[in-house]
Structures are given as C-alpha cells and as structure tokens.
C-alpha cells in the first residue's frame, strides 16, 4: 500500500465538519485534528500512485472548506520493520 500524509488548512469553524467528510472517504485511513500550523492531517492510502494522485488532486480538492494542503509521500513505515 502507498500512503500519503495530507496536512490541511481549513476554513475557520469548519474543522469538525471537514474531518467527518474526510473520514467518510474510503481511501482516508485516519484523520487527526492537530495543534500548530495546520488544522487537520489525513492519512490517505491506495494501491497505486495514479489513484493516490487522483484522491489528493481531485477528491480532496472538492471539499470546499479545505483552503490549502501540503502532501507528504510516505516511503517506509519503520514501526512494522522492527
């Protein structure tokens, strides 16, 4: 599986509603509200890079309360390598 971490700036007052929208998407593994520069972090998972690209550039961008995103591609999960 290929994973990406998507860090998001959300419109003021829309974090809970947006988090629920994201959590309802099949490809979203986890959604976290966070402190600091970003409002939400979503972990997205897919079997193919092309599908992951569609999710990030099309599906997530269709959520009107998401103002801006930064996407980090995950290379390796060290927790499961031990």
Run of H or E residues at 50: helix 49-54
Rounded CA gap, 42 and 35, in Å? 14
Enter the pTM of the model. Answer: 0.91
Q: Domains of the chain: which residue ranges?
A: 2-75
- Span 2-75: which CATH code? 3.30.70.920
**Tens digits of pLDDT across the chain (82 residues):** 899 999 999 999 999 999 999 999 999 999 999 999 999 999 999 999 999 999 999 999 999 999 999 999 999 888 875 5
Return left, alpha or beta for 71; rule: phi > 0 is left, psi -120 to 50 is alpha, else beta.
beta
């Amino acid at each position: 599986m290929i994973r990406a971490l998507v860090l998001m700036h959300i419109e003021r007052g829309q974090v809970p509603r947006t988090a629920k929208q994201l959590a309802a998407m099949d490809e979203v593994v986890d959604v976290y509200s966070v402190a600091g520069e970003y409002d939400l972090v979503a972990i997205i998972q897919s079997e193919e890079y092309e599908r992951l690209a569609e999710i990030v550039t099309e599906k997530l961008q269709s959520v009107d309360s998401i103002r801006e995103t930064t996407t980090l591609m995950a290379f390796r999960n060290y927790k499961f390598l031990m």
